[in-house]
Amino acid sequence: MKTESAPDTVRAYLDALQNALKGSSPGLISDALADAEEHLQAEIANNPEKREADVLASVVRTYGTPEEIAEEYKSMEATIAGPFPKPEQKPDGHHGFFGVIGDARAYGALMYMLLSLATGIFYFVWAVTGISLTVAFAILIFGIPFALLFIGSVRILSHVEGRIVEGLLGVRMPRRLPAQAAADETIWTRIRGALTDIRTWSSVLYLVLMLPLGIAYFTAAVVGIVVPLALIGGSLASLVSGHSLVTISDVPWLEHLFHTAPGLLVAMFLGGLLIFLVLHLAKGIGWFHGRLAELLLVRL
């Protein structure tokens, strides 16, 4: 233990912990910082007669140095099993274009895309209504409590969305809510802290963006599911019944093609190929949205 470099303030301890966790997922770093800050602030509050540096010196001996805590969190994270393989792991049998059929991330992303329209509408309405009412109530006596309530609701919704993102997209997100403000902080200090916190505004931006993103995701998912199934199911039904229902009057040769067995087999093949393309698209959207959620929702 390098006592000569031991942090003597909470901020210094948290900075050292964040530096020791460099390279880990933002969600893990956020949880580690929140846990450490809560523990350190509690120790300081329980020893009001001692200087902050003295309390931290004692905490380092019992709780651990930032480097030791960082190693514990990394070790704990590595042992937690989830529905998706760790980034450094290469799942067997999931290589190549057709391997996506067995990739859980693709199906999780597809499920998220189908869910995103409902969540996007709710988030957008909540954010826009909350901002409008906050501005309208700003001149009234209950405007301040309403603003704090709205900011708190944004943080809760961001946490809920983070759990959905982690569950369906496999991106490590914070698993606990941000630390509560100290009891001795005035309401003006809390307001100033909330308004100057970049994550407050980035979270609101995320909630607003979810409407156009949700519409795009949902449309892509529905079209991506319906078209391949229609091609495969319609072609198979036509082959079995011997009668094709496809009518393309503007392109006679194409209509004729869908009335022949070879043409229907080609349509079935294209439908099967589209399934793989849609799963790859869903996986790509899942990766993109996971990075977006990390950028806008994770508070460090």
Q: pLDDT, tens digit, for every residue of 115-125?
A: 999 999 999 99
pLDDT of residue 3: 45
Place of tokens 């091609």: 231
pLDDT of residue 290: 94
Taking each helix axis from N to C terminus, what angle separates 26-46 and 52-62, rounded to the nearest 10 degrees?
120
Residue 174 zone, left/alpha/beta (φ > 0; ψ -120 to 50; rest): beta
Q: CB neighbours (10 Å) of residue 177?
A: 12
Judge contact between 26 and 175, C-beta under 8 A. Answer: no
pTM of the model: 0.81
Residue 170 zone, left/alpha/beta (φ > 0; ψ -120 to 50; rest): left
**Alpha helices, H only, 91-197:** 104-136, 143-169, 187-196
Structure tokens at 11: 């901020």
pLDDT of residue 35: 87
pLDDT of residue 261: 82
Residues constituting the chain = 300
pLDDT of residue 121: 97
Structure tokens at 87: 């980034």
pLDDT of residue 2: 44
Judged on CB neighbours under 10 Å (0-12, 13-18, 19+), 180 is exposed
pLDDT of residue 255: 67
pLDDT of residue 251: 65
Segments of the chain scoring below 50 in pLDDT: 1-4, 88, 92-93
Q: What digits encode the pLDDT tens for the residues 1-42?
A: 444 467 878 888 889 999 999 888 888 898 888 888 888 888
pLDDT of residue 132: 93
- Residue boundaries of the structural domains of the chain: 3-79, 91-300
Longest dimension (CA), the chain: 91
Judge contact between 244 and 264, C-beta under 8 A. Answer: yes
